[in-house]
């Protein structure tokens, strides 16, 4: 039942903000979602009744009122998605079939697919050979001019997370600002952990723009 609900809410946001791209609409729905119920308890997985995590609830349950005024959005152009597909090693023919453009090439691609300006983060550590992962994101101000946001980070104890800058100032509506987040896995963490979760949230008194982060440790095959 989630698909028709999400589709209807996306149509609501598009009607309220006809200038928003599909990616901006998706960002607004994701970054304003909630992960605690009306008793302030964490959401539980309907399958087993246990406390759920982003593998089960994604960004959380949608809050339509907050999504109408998210403050900031992560916007993505069609060309960015094409570069993302190319960085996943899709063939030119596959990319052309997906985007329905016969002249598309893979002249541009990301060095890491995680560089797509998506409203969530997937961080994979490759044991001792890759303990540091860094991504840059761009936020667009869809709130008032003069908005100031500060960042708050949650991450598991075996991962050190830093964000630069820690404060973003948007002087105008539509202004874009970038930040870089760096994740560093502790030595030996791969021996005890396979997946963990955290979040990155930009907030001010009016808005909270929250992105889930999923961490995974992957064994290398020699």
The string of DSSP letters for 51-76 reads BP-HHHHTT-B--HHHHHS-SEE---
How far is the CA of 118 from the CAs of 102, 140, 194, in angstroms? 26, 12, 23
Residues 63-86 as b/e (b if ≥16 CB within 10 A, e otherwise) read eeebbeebbbbbbbeeebbbbbbb
CB 132, CB 186: distance < 8 Å: no
Q: Is residue 59 part of a domain?
A: yes
pLDDT tens over the chain, length 222 residues = 478 888 999 999 999 999 999 999 999 999 999 998 888 888 888 778 888 888 888 899 999 999 999 999 999 999 999 999 999 999 889 999 998 888 888 889 999 999 999 999 999 988 667 889 999 999 999 999 999 999 999 999 999 999 999 999 999 999 999 999 999 998 877 666 678 999 999 999 999 999 999 999 886 544
- The verdict on 60 and 88 lying in the same domain is no
Q: Is residue 180 part of a domain?
A: no
Q: Is residue 199 part of a domain?
A: no
Q: Is residue 216 part of a domain?
A: no
Q: Residue 107: which domain range?
A: 77-116
pTM: 0.91
Q: Is residue 43 part of a domain?
A: yes
For the chain, what is the domain count? Answer: 2
Q: Is residue 191 part of a domain?
A: no
Spell out the long-range contacts of 164-168 with Cβ–Cβ below 8 A and sequence spacing 24 or more.
168/139, 168/202
């Amino acid at each position: 039942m989630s698909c028709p609900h999400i589709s209807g809410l996306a149509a609501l946001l598009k009607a309220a903000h006809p200038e928003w791209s599909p990616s901006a609409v998706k960002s607004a729905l994701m970054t304003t979602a909630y992960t605690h119920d009306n008793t302030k308890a964490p959401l539980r997985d309907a399958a087993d009744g246990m406390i759920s995590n982003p593998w089960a609830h994604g960004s959380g349950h949608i809050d339509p009122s907050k999504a109408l005024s998210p403050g900031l959005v992560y916007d993505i152009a069609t060309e960015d998605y094409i570069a993302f597909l190319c960085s996943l090693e899709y063939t030119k023919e596959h990319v052309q079939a997906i985007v329905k453009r016969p002249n598309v090439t893979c002249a541009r691609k990301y060095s890491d697919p995680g560089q797509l300006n998506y409203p969530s983060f997937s961080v994979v550590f490759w044991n001792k050979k890759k303990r540091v992962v860094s991504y840059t994101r761009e936020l667009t101000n869809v709130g008032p001019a003069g908005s100031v946001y500060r960042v708050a980070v949650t991450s598991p104890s075996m991962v050190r997370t830093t964000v630069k800058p820690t404060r973003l100032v948007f002087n105008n509506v539509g202004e874009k600002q970038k930040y870089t987040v760096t994740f560093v896995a502790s030595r030996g963490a791969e021996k005890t952990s396979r997946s963990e979760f955290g979040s990155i949230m930009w907030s001010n008194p009016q808005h909270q723009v929250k992105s889930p982060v999923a961490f995974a440790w992957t064994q290398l095959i020699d």
